[in-house]
Amino acid sequence: MSAVSVRPTPARRPTFAWRALLALGIFFVLALAFPFLPLGDRREFLLQIGFFTLVAGIMALSWDLLARSGQVSLAHAAFYGLGAYGYALLLKAGLPWEAAMPLAALGAGFISLLLGAVTMRLSGMYFAIATLAFTEVVRTVIQNLPESVAGGANGLLVPALLGGNSRGQYLLALALLLLTVGVSLAVRLSKLHHAFAAIRQGEETARVLGVSVVRYKLAAFFLSSVLAALAGVLYAGKTFFISPLDTFSLANSISPLTTSIFGGLYTTLGPILGATVLRVAEELLHNTVKNGYLVVYGLVLMLSILWLPRGIVGLWRRGRQGGDL
Amino acid sequence: MDLFLQTLLNGLLQSGIYALVASGLALSVGVVGIVNFAHGEFLMIGAFLAWAASASLGLDPLLSLPVVALAVFGVGALTYRVSIRHVLLAPELNQMLLTFGLGILLQNLALMLLGGNTRTVSTPYQASSLQLGELTVGGPKAVAFAFAVALLAGLYFVLYRTTLGRQMRAVAQNRRGAQLIGINVDRVYLLAFAASCGLAAVAGVLVSVLLFASPTVGLVFALKAFAIIVMAGLGNLTGVLWASVLLGVSEALVQTYVPGGGGWSDAVFFLMIFGTLVLRSFRGSR
């Protein structure tokens, strides 16, 4: 079932864990310093690229969290979109953004529990198909609701996050990425890690061993969707405008999946590195190619599966087993 | 009453295309064991090739159909050689993601080369219609349905009456057993996968006449085909026909009888996927 065949972990290799932590630390120091650099007159543009790189990092890492429990989801765009729409609607109802943000995320998390409860018994491709269909249907529903409710096909206007202060928005995104990394590390270091790995490698066996599969699968779904919804809130607040076609676009399910596989599945560092590389590549390509820049994602996904199944993180832990963070 | 019959007829006609797309997918799933997420993109290629032949050579899509089918058959064979073949023994997840990547690649290449506009093919019989008593049938719809039925009949003939078909069914049942009695499994896989792509392309040609050609036209059909093969049971080719009719007719009923039904009918396939999957998983027979 798993993309990477994982042998039973022997003794943990602390050397690699420290290196991964060090790399994460360096990433955050650099990311924190970025908005304070003298960026010249392209400052706004660079900050925007930085912002969306962080959002992509949150999406990829939260997708990876779910994948660790063996659930390869194509519904990430749905929770991203539900976060964005929930936030916009709560603001419209008169809530302050500080309240709307967590409430929107929790709302998406609640819906994910409903979806998770239904798709729980599905595995592999059945799960993927069901989640893909779920995304399409959420989009259809929002598009067909009366315009006064959720804007219909025309979309909704959203007030700018933090009054449109680019540096503030960037730092908020960075803080949420830090939260995501914190959750990911906490999962990795707690018994959740072992439960997820057991479920992923063989649900029947895990159940026999006494892992309460239902509870852990739902926990993974909830954590992952709340974080994806937070990414959606950031997106809505940054672009001022959300529409069903853009927000629930298949691209928003594909990029986290590709990013995470390219960076290194089931790790904390991998999805973040992947997001940095792919997002910057995407921006560079976006300038030259107007349409179809997702070609890169398709290509990267195919090449990673064929030749680099352990991602870029796997390159420097070649031959090592276990101890990955 | 006439409205009801008309609705049933529309649904039935629509199901021809669905059955064509879904039986191609069922071939790939059942024989090769690959859930091809790029199936819709082969349909899209077919639609665009038909459009190109019509726009540049003035060829009627129904005349260019054999050539287009053959061309996409070749593309499918090539795809099998360079990618699918290398993940046959890999975990299911890798196979799925590989075809998913392929789909994204093809869809966005089309977007890059041709832009996001929809291209329509104009044919002399586009606006024609047949009158059957009180009921009307759109000309292109009837033609497309006839083509779909003919092709499906051909497919079932090949599968159940020829050596190749017998080999395909043998490989589908037991790969190793088939190998042991001297069937060239790799060749059967290649042919089945390429044929599956060819069938998608034929559906694409018909779609270019009925609707239009666009880079994303394949996705919806692929999703519906998934719904159909899930409902039929993976690899069950006869079930595909019934499931297609069920989907086509229920969509037509929703379109006619639910207020604002045009938008909602796109959600029908989802309910079918969900209903079947959930029912089946709770019965414990997957």
Average pLDDT, consecutive stretches of 10 residues, N- to C-terminus, chain B (286 residues) = 83 89 90 89 94 87 90 94 87 85 90 82 74 76 85 89 91 88 91 94 90 84 88 79 90 82 74 77 58
**Predicted pLDDT at A1:** 42
Distance CA B92, CA B239 (A): 24
Which residue range forms the structural domain that includes residue A223? 14-315
Disruptive mutation site among A147, A254, A295, A299 for chain B (greatest number of B CBs within 10 Å): A295
**Predicted pLDDT at A9:** 52
Chain A residues touching B91 at Cβ < 8 A = 1-3, 5
Q: With an 8 Å Cβ cutoff, are B263 and A144 in contact?
A: yes
In a domain, A320, yes or no: no
pLDDT mean over A164-190? 92
Residue B168 Cα distances to A73, B75, B155, B159, angstroms: 32, 20, 12, 7
Distance CA A224, CA A168 (A): 25
Q: How many domains does chain A have?
A: 1
DSSP result, A138-201: HHHHHHHS-HHHH-GGG-EE-PPGGGG-HHHHHHHHHHHHHHHHHHHHHHHHSHHHHHHHHHHH
Dump pLDDT digits (tens) for A31-55.
Answer: 998 888 887 888 888 899 999 999 9
Q: What is the dihedral of CA B63, B66, B71, B74, to 10 degrees?
A: 180
Q: How many CB pairs under 8 A join A and B?
A: 129
In a domain, B280, yes or no: no
Q: How many domains does chain B have?
A: 1
Q: Is the distance from CB of A301 to CB of B37 less than 8 angstroms?
A: no
Distance CA A154, CA A90 (A): 18
> Residue A290: is its pLDDT beyond 80?
no
Q: ∠ CA(A264), CA(A266), CA(A270), 5° rounding?
A: 35
Question: Which residue of A289, A291, A302 is in closest CB contact with B83?
Answer: A302
In a domain, A302, yes or no: yes
In a domain, A158, yes or no: yes
Q: With an 8 Å Cβ cutoff, are A295 and B100 in contact?
A: no
Model-level pTM? 0.84
**Which CATH number fits the domain that encloses residue A36?**
1.10.3470
> In terms of DSSP H, where are the helices of chain A?
14-33, 43-67, 76-92, 97-119, 124-144, 147-150, 166-189, 191-201, 203-208, 213-239, 244-247, 251-263, 269-288, 295-307, 311-315
Question: Which residue of B83, B104, B215 is in closest CB contact with A297?
Answer: B104
**Predicted pLDDT at B1:** 66
Disruptive mutation site among B97, B112, B254 for chain A (greatest number of A CBs within 10 Å): B97
Dump pLDDT digits (tens) for A55-81.
Answer: 999 999 999 999 999 888 999 999 999
In A, minimum Cα distance to B99 occurs at A302
**Predicted pLDDT at A147:** 80
Which residue range forms the structural domain that includes residue B150? 17-246
In a domain, A216, yes or no: yes
Chain B residues touching A289 at Cβ < 8 A = 112
Which of residues 203 through 242 in chain B touch A, CB cutoff 8 A?
215, 219, 223, 226-227, 230
Residue B57 Cα distances to A77, B54, B229, angstroms: 41, 6, 37
Neighbour tally for A209: CB within 10 Å? 11
B213 bridge partner residues: B119
In a domain, B273, yes or no: no
Distance CA A131, CA A135 (A): 6
**Predicted pLDDT at A325:** 60
Q: Is the distance from CB of A64 to CB of A223 less than 8 angstroms?
A: no
Dump pLDDT digits (tens) for A139-150.
Answer: 888 888 888 778
Q: With an 8 Å Cβ cutoff, are B227 and A133 in contact?
A: yes
In a domain, B281, yes or no: no
Q: With an 8 Å Cβ cutoff, are B274 and A122 in contact?
A: no
Q: Which two tokens stand for residue B238?
A: 């006869």
Q: Which of A264-278, A309-323, B103-117 has the lowest average pLDDT?
A: A309-323
> Residue A281: is its pLDDT beyond 70?
yes
Q: Which two tokens stand for residue A177?
A: 């990425």
> Residue A92: is its pLDDT beyond 50?
yes
In a domain, A163, yes or no: yes
